[in-house]
């Protein structure tokens, strides 16, 4: 059954939440009194549709319906989760909670506040046990971190339920176990921002120079390791202990003004604003959003290849999507009389070339992933490979039939042309809907990883492969099997 989330507040954060939920198959009801809220949410959804599918190697579920409501009550009625993303004013938030409670007494209320204590938020509620903080990071539809914080009266069950919900959205729920102003991430971010403002105020560096000092150095490390692990690594074999012994005394040096803040005079604010405008020129905020989203997709996908940090969260989301879609069904759960669905994914942003369509290498990438998926289905999974057996590709032939573009949802079906003993001959067809995009023909040999020579597969793999091969023998031979370059058509 499709789940429904209410989003109260349709700004940058609320719109990002709406996109994250909708693209993961939830129906979404949005309330925001701003007359431009629907347009702003639509723009956020457009950005998310372009970027978020590029993080996954399994297609996202069918997009949920986004409905704009005229009142808080209309949005919140009968919702199991109500996301509050209104301005950072306690009185406004408490007024919204009262409106929610007038029509909904059981749903979790998740505040997106970036620093207000949840105990203060829930102080006037009739049912305070269901209020939690679920603090995201912009862009909400791409960045996986969400900080979960409980107030004095929060029922712990709702924190646990929230962990399940946000994990299912491809996010990393970080439980901040101690209620503290600003939580964890913003306290760390603000410390760096305070120092940057002082360096600007004192004329030490420009906004562009300060950003370069992060983007070309520590920022790249922070994309995959936090401050503590980074400095632990910097200590060499001695780790953090060596790091503290070497640089601990520096912490007493006057390198920082973190205990103070420059006065935000009109003149200083204009100076900072002007420098940021010059740094961004001629790019518009929308241009920068597209660049940011593309960079984030690339970074997270790179981390995904090593199963590290945010990449591990994205990989876990892939597994969840594959399980839901049936891609991870074992051999005995498949209909052996039909070609096997081995891929259903969206073409990522970085899979296209200067012509705007998918590059030749990515067709091979997609077909190789489909081969890997079929190997997993018949039992040649990671554990089997660790134990010394696998299939090696001996020959490949790809035909490029039609164009595929970024954002296209492609499906690959696999037919076993022959499968017996050491040999496996597969035929892949890639489609977008009914349109055939490409075919891939792969011939593989089972190999012992100890001898690196062909060997017989384990009996359970041989049986699973033979089951498909025998059933697929009754299917029509695909047009193009055995073709070579320049063969008559």
Domain with residue 230: its CATH number is: 1.10.1040.10
CATH code (residue 74):
3.40.50.720
- Tokens 């992060």 label which residue? 214
| Contact in structure between 28 and 67 (CB atoms under 8 Å) | yes
Which structural domain range is residue 335 located in?
A: 326-472
In sequence order, the 6+-apart residues with CB closer than 8 A to the CB of 381 are 375
Give the chain as a 3 state SS string: CCCEEEEECCCHHHHHHHHHHHHCCCEEEEECCCCCHHHHHHHHHHHHHHHHHHHCCCCCCCCCCEEEECCHHHHHCCCCEEEECCCCCHHHHHHHHHHHHCCCCCCEEEECCCCCCHHHHCCCCCCHHHEEEEECCCCCCCCCEEEEEECCCCCHHHHHHHHHHHHHCCCEEEECCCCCCCCCHHHHHHHHHHHHHHHHHCCCCCHHHHHHHHHCCHHHHHCCCCHHHHHHHHCHHHHHHHHHHHHHHHHHCCCCCCCCCCCCCHHHHHHHHHHHHHHHCCCCHHHHHHHHHHHHHHHHHHHHHCCCCHHHHHHHHHHHHHHHHCCCCCHHHCCCCCCEEEEEEECCHHHECCCCEECHHHHHHHHHHHHHHHHHHCCCCHHHHHCCEEEEEEEEEEEECCCCECCCEEEEEEEEEEEECCEEEEEEEEEECCEEEEEEEEEEEEEECCCCEECCCCHHHHHHHHHHHHHHCCCCCCCCCCCCCCCCC
Q: What is the pLDDT of residue 253?
A: 80
Q: What is the pLDDT of residue 461?
A: 96
Over range 304-326, report the average pLDDT: 92
- Domain membership of residue 315 (yes or no) is no
Q: What would the pLDDT profile of 93-132 be if each residue is shown by its tens digit?
A: 999 999 999 999 999 999 999 999 999 999 999 999 999 9
Over range 461-479, report the average pLDDT: 96
Q: What is the pLDDT of residue 487?
A: 84
Residue 269, pLDDT above cutoff 90: no
Element (H, E) at 196: helix 185-201
**Where among 250, 281, 312 does a domain terminate?**
281
Give the up-direction half-sphere exposure of residue 162: CA atoms within 13 A in the CB hemisphere.
32
Residue 244, pLDDT above cutoff 90: no
| Contact in structure between 244 and 238 (CB atoms under 8 Å) | no
CATH code (residue 337):
3.10.129.10
Neighbours of 304 (CB within 10 A): 22
Q: What is the pLDDT of residue 254?
A: 77
Q: What is the pLDDT of residue 259?
A: 72
- Domain membership of residue 434 (yes or no) is yes
Over range 391-405, report the average pLDDT: 96
* pLDDT-derived band at 18, boundaries 50, 70, 90: very high
DSSP 324: H
Q: What percent of the chain has pLDDT over 70?
A: 100
Full-model pTM: 0.89
Residue 381, pLDDT above cutoff 90: yes
- Domain membership of residue 27 (yes or no) is yes
- Domain membership of residue 17 (yes or no) is yes
Over range 214-220, report the average pLDDT: 90
The CA distance from 443 to 391, in Å, is 10
Q: What is the pLDDT of residue 140?
A: 97
Of 138-147, 218-227, 308-317, minimum mean pLDDT range: 218-227
The answer on 140 and 27 residing in a single domain is: yes
| Contact in structure between 50 and 294 (CB atoms under 8 Å) | no
The answer on 144 and 79 residing in a single domain is: yes
The answer on 163 and 190 residing in a single domain is: no
Whether omega before 282 lies within 30 degrees of 0, making that bond cis, reads: yes
Of 7-16, 154-163, 258-267, minimum mean pLDDT range: 258-267
- Domain membership of residue 211 (yes or no) is yes
- Domain membership of residue 311 (yes or no) is no
Q: What percent of the chain has pLDDT over 90?
A: 79
Over range 340-358, report the average pLDDT: 93
Kindly state the tokens that stand for 489.
């058509």
The answer on 248 and 162 residing in a single domain is: no
* pLDDT-derived band at 226, boundaries 50, 70, 90: confident
Q: How would you label 114-126 residue by residue, b for 16+ Cβ within 10 Å and e otherwise? A: bebbbbbbbbebe
Q: What is the pLDDT of residue 403?
A: 95
The CA distance from 347 to 76, in Å, is 35
**Where among 183, 214, 238 does a domain terminate?**
183
The answer on 197 and 177 residing in a single domain is: no
| Contact in structure between 129 and 157 (CB atoms under 8 Å) | no
Q: What is the pLDDT of residue 246?
A: 83
Over range 35-61, report the average pLDDT: 95
The CA distance from 341 to 377, in Å, is 10
Q: What is the pLDDT of residue 192?
A: 93
Residue 262, pLDDT above cutoff 80: no
Work out how many domains the chain is built from and give that number.
3
Residue 64, pLDDT above cutoff 80: yes
Q: What is the pLDDT of residue 240?
A: 84
Residue 303, pLDDT above cutoff 80: yes
Of 10-19, 108-117, 351-360, minimum mean pLDDT range: 351-360
- Domain membership of residue 482 (yes or no) is no
The answer on 206 and 166 residing in a single domain is: no
The answer on 146 and 42 residing in a single domain is: yes
Q: What would the pLDDT profile of 228-237 be if each residue is shown by its tens digit?
A: 888 888 888 8
**Where among 223, 248, 281 does a domain terminate?**
281
The answer on 63 and 116 residing in a single domain is: yes
- Domain membership of residue 353 (yes or no) is yes
The answer on 199 and 148 residing in a single domain is: no
The answer on 149 and 190 residing in a single domain is: no
The CA distance from 391 to 107, in Å, is 50
* pLDDT-derived band at 81, boundaries 50, 70, 90: very high
Residue 248, pLDDT above cutoff 80: no
The answer on 196 and 153 residing in a single domain is: no
Q: What is the pLDDT of residue 239?
A: 84
The CA distance from 248 to 265, in Å, is 35
Residue 384, pLDDT above cutoff 80: yes
The CA distance from 150 to 162, in Å, is 11
Average pLDDT of the chain to the nearest whole number = 94
Kindly state the tokens that stand for 432.
């977008």
The answer on 145 and 208 residing in a single domain is: no
């Amino acid at each position: 059954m499709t789940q429904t989330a209410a989003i109260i507040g349709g700004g940058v954060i609320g719109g990002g939440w709406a996109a994250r939920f909708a693209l993961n198959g939830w129906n979404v009801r949005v309330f925001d009194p701003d007359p431009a809220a629907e347009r702003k949410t639509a723009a956020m959804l457009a950005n998310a549709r372009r970027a978020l599918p590029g993080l996954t190697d399994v297609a996202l579920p069918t997009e949920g319906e986004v409905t704009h409501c005229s009142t808080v009550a209309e949005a919140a009625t009968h919702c199991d989760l109500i996301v509050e993303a209104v301005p950072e004013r306690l009185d406004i938030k408490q007024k919204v909670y009262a409106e929610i409670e007038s029509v909904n007494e059981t749903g979790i209320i998740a505040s997106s506040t970036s620093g207000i204590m949840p105990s203060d938020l829930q102080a006037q509620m009739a049912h305070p046990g269901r209020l939690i903080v679920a603090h995201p990071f912009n862009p909400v539809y791409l960045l996986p971190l969400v900080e979960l914080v409980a107030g004095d009266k929060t029922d712990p069950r709702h924190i646990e339920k929230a962990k399940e919900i946000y994990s299912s959205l491809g996010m990393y729920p970080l439980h901040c176990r101690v209620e503290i102003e600003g939580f964890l991430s913003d306290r760390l971010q603000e410390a760096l921002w305070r120092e940057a403002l002082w360096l600007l105020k004192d004329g030490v560096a420009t906004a562009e120079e300060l950003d370069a000092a992060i983007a070309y150095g520590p920022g790249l490390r922070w994309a995959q390791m936090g401050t503590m692990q980074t400095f632990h690594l910097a200590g060499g074999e001695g780790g953090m202990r060596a790091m503290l012994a070497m640089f601990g005394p520096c912490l007493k040096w006057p390198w920082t003004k973190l205990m103070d803040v420059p006065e935000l005079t009109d003149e200083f604010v204009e100076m900072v604003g002007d420098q940021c405008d010059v740094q961004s020129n001629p790019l518009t905020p929308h241009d920068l959003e597209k660049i940011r989203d593309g960079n984030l997709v690339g970074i997270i996908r790179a981390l995904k290849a090593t199963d590290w940090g945010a990449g591990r969260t994205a990989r876990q989301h892939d597994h969840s999507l594959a399980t839901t879609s049936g891609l991870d069904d074992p051999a005995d759960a498949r209909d052996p009389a039909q070609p096997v669905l081995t891929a259903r994914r969206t073409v990522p942003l970085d899979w296209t070339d200067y012509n705007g369509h998918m590059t030749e290498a990515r067709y091979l990438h997609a077909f190789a992933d489909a081969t890997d998926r079929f190997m997993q289905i018949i039992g040649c999974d990671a554990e089997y490979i660790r134990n010394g057996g696998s299939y090696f590709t001996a020959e490949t032939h790809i035909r490029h039939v039609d164009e595929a573009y970024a954002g296209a949802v492609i499906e690959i079906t696999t037919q076993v042309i022959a499968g017996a003993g050491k040999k496996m001959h597969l035929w892949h067809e890639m489609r977008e809907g009914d349109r055939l995009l490409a075919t891939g023909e792969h011939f593989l040999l089972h190999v012992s990883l100890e001898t690196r020579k062909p060997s017989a597969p384990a009996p359970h793999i041989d049986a699973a492969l033979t089951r498909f091969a025998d059933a697929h023998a009754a299917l029509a031979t695909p047009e193009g099997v055995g073709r070579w370059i320049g063969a008559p058509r």
